[in-house]
Structure 1
Amino acid sequence: MGSVRKASAWLGLVEDNDDRYYDDEYAEGPQTGTGQAWVTDPRVQIASEAAEETGRRIATVTPDSFRDARAIGELFREGVPVIVNLTTMDPTDAKRVVDFAAGLIFGLRGSIERVATRVFLLTPADTQVVTEAAGRPTDGFFNQS
């Protein structure tokens, strides 16, 4: 747990959940017998329904602990590119999430790219990432020479 998170927990601003590993109460599927689907964590942001219909979705996940790796895996398994922002995580847990993501992209034939410090883009096999150099024209629009 990071120092800011510890201070926030001490002040009572956030819950003090220092259990970082899966436990028995973290079960698969719906928790209630009502047939409700698994509810997406509010820290996971997905594009609108119109984007979902056309297949142009991308998800941003900012995990707090390794427990949030499940959301990353479920989105990636559905074929959604996922941006994983690990800047708020403890370095040891962040490494575990990166290891999980590496196994995920290996198993599903995707790719992983570092976007910024501790921010990664996981893309499915059918997605092409255009790099900065490939997207820039050689005779710049604003070339005033």
Structure 2
Amino acid sequence: MASVRKASAWLGLVEDSDERYYDDEYTEGAGAAEQWVTDPRVRVASESAQEQGRRIATISPDGFRDARGIGELFREGVPVIVNLTSMEPTDAKRVVDFAAGLTFGLRGSIERVATRVFLLTPADTEIVSGESSGRSAGGFYNQS
């Protein structure tokens, strides 16, 4: 039963009461920015991409409490892909409302990419669509 509890704690489903695995020096020295980058639900590009300004973050929040991570990355000018497919519908609506206010306040934009997946882009980021403006509405194989 202990292995099930450890696996549940690792997945974040239950509180981990086993403190022997934590190093106090490491947790005290970690900065706020490192906490978000090391979160397994957040993926950000490498440091070389950060130096060139080419980063995109993907976040799959578990609840509304994870909205802060979205806001901090977006304030840094990082485009954020928010995947809400694993959230409860009420919390997902709250996160979308938060993201809409965030993008409005920082003059960015929010775009729905797929069902319950949104792209938040800062004001200085251009979204390039893969669709050609000259393509007919009937599709590629329309011969009429």
TM-score (norm 1): 0.71
Structure 1 Cα separation of the partners of residues 53 and 134 of structure 2 = 27
Q: What percent of counterpart residues are identical?
A: 67
CA distance in 2, matches of 1:35, 1:106: 35
Rounded to whole Å, the distance in 1 between the matches of 2:27 and 2:129 is 47
Partner of 2:63: 65
What letter is aligned with 2:31? A
Relative contact order, higher structure (CA 8 A, sep 6+): 1
Question: 2:76: which partner in 1?
Answer: 78
Q: In the TM superposition, what is the alpha-carbon distance from 1:133 to its structure 2 partner?
A: 1.8
Query: Distance in 2 between the 1:85 and 1:94 partners?
Result: 9
Unpaired segments ≥5 residues, structure 2: 16-25, 136-140
Say whether residues 1:98 and 2:96 are aligned partners: yes
C-alpha RMSD of matched pairs (Å): 2.4
> Which aligned runs of 4 or more in structure 1 are off by greater than 4 angstroms?
32-35
Encode CA deviations 1:103-143: one digit per residue, 9 max, x unaligned.
00010000000000000000000000011224x786xxxx9
CA distance in 1, matches of 2:118, 2:43: 15
Structure 1 residue ranges without an equivalent (≥5): 1-10, 18-31
What does residue 22 of structure 2 align with? Answer: none
1:36 deviates by 3.3
Which residue, out of 39, 42, 49, partners 2:40?
Answer: 42
- Offset, 1:35: 5.4
Larger Rg over CA atoms: 2
TM superposition score normalised by structure 2: 0.71
